[in-house]
Structure 1
Amino acid sequence: MSCIAFTNGEHLLFMMLLCSSFIYMWAFISYINVEKSANTILYNLYVLMIYLVLTGGVEGTGPIWIFIVSPVTFSIRGLKRGTFDIVLFLIAVILAFYFADALDIYNYEPNQYTYRVLFSFIIVAMLSAFYEYTREKYNDKIIALSQKNEVLATIDPLTNLPNRRYTMKKLEEFKLALSRDQTPFVIMLCDVDNFKKINDVYGHDIGDEALTHLANTLKQNIPDKALVSRWGGEEFLIAIPNAVKEKGVEVANKIHASLKNNSICELPESVNLTISIGVIQCLEARSIDLDIKHADELLYTAKEQGKNRTCS
């Protein structure tokens, strides 16, 4: 269009379009700062549109181009900031029409042309704003749903503890800290004793209550920075960062004592909820899977030795 303006002898329009083209090229080249590039493109568009309204463009068709401003503005600036910019742009367009006539820069005929362009622009701007409003609402719902799904993917719904997927990521972080900074950490694998009997005799609802009770007990008796998760079924895994095996055994004994002193209301007094625990200190040379396997072996050793105890 700049070249067409040049061949038509409209040198001022040619220069404006040429300068705008260079500004757009610079904005696209410097795309690393997206917000800066987008604002440069937008405000350059505003200046060009005001110029076209003020001068009439080619045979009075300049004002027609202002209809592209609304969708571009809302796309770049969003609903609130975009509305503010559109209002300022509309005021600038009205002033441009006024000065075009007052300064005899361009005479728009018929007189109704100016009003129709302005009213049409307002309608397009309102439709663009409504579209942006619905788009933002839809995006908010998508983000909320995504966040909810992310929580569901990492949290056990019964106990509200992290699940195995989340725990494996945290164990990898602990292992990295061990390799990089020699920060020790302990893994404790816990399993409810005689859990099948609880389910068979008292029902699965009481079994679920037992797991919830155990989850709360574990959370209350571990250090602040420790992680407790539901590993699967009636198994729970505790990871204690910046700790050695002796600390793990100490925490395990605390858990045993707490379970003994806090029974489940739905179970008879003669039935105690007990767990067996395997405690290991993780080694840098050993993989996480081998660490867990070793803790599992100690857990079953505790089972074989009579249950309700800790092996390390």
Structure 2
Amino acid sequence: MYEYSNKSERKLIVRFFSSIGFIATFSMASLAFINSSYLLACTLVVSSFVYLLAFSISRGVEKSGTIILYNLYALMFYLVLTGGAQGTGPIWIFIVSPVTYSIRGLKRGTFDIILFLLAIVLGFYCADIFNIYDYSPEQFPIRIIIAFMIVASLSGYYECSREKYSNKIIALSQKNEFLATIDPLTNLPNRRYTMNKLVAFKSELKDNNTPFVILLADVDNFKKINDQFGHDFGDEALIQLAKTFDKSIPKNAIASRWGGEEFLIVIPDAIVEQGEQVAEKIHNALKASVVSLFSDSTNITLSIGVISASAERSIDLDIKRADELLYKAKAQGKNRTCSS
């Protein structure tokens, strides 16, 4: 089954082909029985019930696909070998390539079609050598084989184009999904991404008692910085702040832009004391660095609230508590950390 379709799509494809296979072969079996072609009728009935078997296998999608294909190959070989109904049997082999590529994909499908083509050549050869069926005119088998090769090549080209297009769509979707979780200015994770992580961390806290720490930080006097130096300078300050976070927090921690000049840092498997140490490291890093753009330069500072997440509180209440501590730090003079 081609890899770019999901499980539900593969299941739908298998069920579609098995249904069509059952209806077509059972209908032809009925016609063959009416025309007194009992051997052909029995073969078609057996084939139709194999398709029904493939349809009934709900969990083994790959197994169902294999059953459908090899049942189709066996039936096509039989029709080539015996001529089918009045020598029209080989005409049905043209359905093989689109079905094969739909179920197998390009690489595996091409391999299977080559094997099938060799089997068909053998079928025509055996029909002639052992006088099983006399195809007329003599050029009929060769023309059927050449026509099948052309159709298979066109089907392969189409499948190749479809796979390339699908891969582009998947890559674009993954890129958009990634961009949807990233703040475009700072390249830090955004609020949406971090909330999903907080949900996972909270689940670990409740299930396995794995603690985590939340740091909520706000740039001090950011409006004054924007008013004095301009918004471009303010943006540069946020970009440099994001780089400071990357250098100051543990590798397993997440620093995100929570909104505006507010940032949220999550440190998994940590307690408040470790959160305080990270906050102090950030303060020191900012103290030692200067934000500069063109001829303007200044230091920036942060007020930070640090809490240890609680299994009894919701995520919103955890963040609210960190926000209260952040504003406590603001009230005490800014450029400091308050924790609980």
TM-score (norm. length: structure 2): 0.88
Distance 2:293 2:113 in 1: 65
Cα-to-partner distance string for 1:253-278 (whole Å, 9 max, x where unaligned): 11101111122243879721111101
Distance 1:270 1:47 in 2: 79
Count of residues in Structure 1 that have an aligned counterpart in Structure 2: 312
Is contact 1:185–1:240 with CA below 8 Å preserved after alignment? yes
Q: Does 1:57 align with 2:84?
A: yes
Q: Which stretch shows the higher mean deviation, 230-239 or 260-269?
A: 260-269
SS at match of 1:236: strand
2:69 pairs with 42, 64, 88, which one?
42
Structure 2 gaps, min length 5: 1-27
Residue aligning to 1:164: 191
Cα-to-partner distance string for 1:70-101 (whole Å, 9 max, x where unaligned): 10011111111111111221121112112111
SS at match of 1:154: coil
Distance 2:204 2:110 in 1: 49
Residue type of the partner of 2:240? H
Task: Give runs of ≥4 in structure 1 deviating > 6 Å.
Answer: 267-270
Cα-to-partner distance string for 1:145-191 (whole Å, 9 max, x where unaligned): 11011001111111111100010111111111121122222111001
Q: Which stretch shows the higher mean deviation, 192-201 or 160-169?
A: 192-201
Residue aligning to 2:41: 14
Distance 2:178 2:158 in 1: 30
Residue aligning to 2:50: 23
Within a 5 Å distance, the mapping from 1:67-78 to structure 2 comes to 67-78=94-105
Residue type of the partner of 2:102? S
Residue aligning to 1:306: 333
Q: Does 1:245 align with 2:240?
A: no
Is contact 1:263–1:269 with CA below 8 Å preserved after alignment? no
Distance 2:296 2:128 in 1: 95
Q: Does 1:112 align with 2:135?
A: no
Within a 5 Å distance, the mapping from 1:226-305 to structure 2 comes to 226-266=253-293, 271-305=298-332
Residue aligning to 2:150: 123
Residue type of the partner of 1:100? A
SS at match of 1:187: strand
Is contact 1:240–1:248 with CA below 8 Å preserved after alignment? yes
2:125 pairs with 89, 98, 101, which one?
98
Distance 1:311 1:267 in 2: 35
TM-score (norm. length: structure 1): 0.96
Residue type of the partner of 2:273? E
Residue type of the partner of 1:57? G
Distance 2:270 2:109 in 1: 54
Is contact 1:276–1:307 with CA below 8 Å preserved after alignment? yes
Residue aligning to 2:218: 191
Q: Structure 1 residues 259 and 7, CA, compared in 2 at 3 Å: closer, same or farther?
A: same
What's the offset of the Cα at 1:238?
A: 0.6
Cα-to-partner distance string for 1:167-224 (whole Å, 9 max, x where unaligned): 0111111111121122222111001111122222222222111111111111211122
Distance 1:119 1:297 in 2: 78
Is contact 2:292–2:298 with CA below 8 Å preserved after alignment? no
SS at match of 1:191: strand
Distance 1:16 1:270 in 2: 86
Please tell me the root mean square deviation across aligned C-alpha atoms, in Å: 1.6
Residue type of the partner of 1:88? L
Is contact 2:213–2:272 with CA below 8 Å preserved after alignment? yes
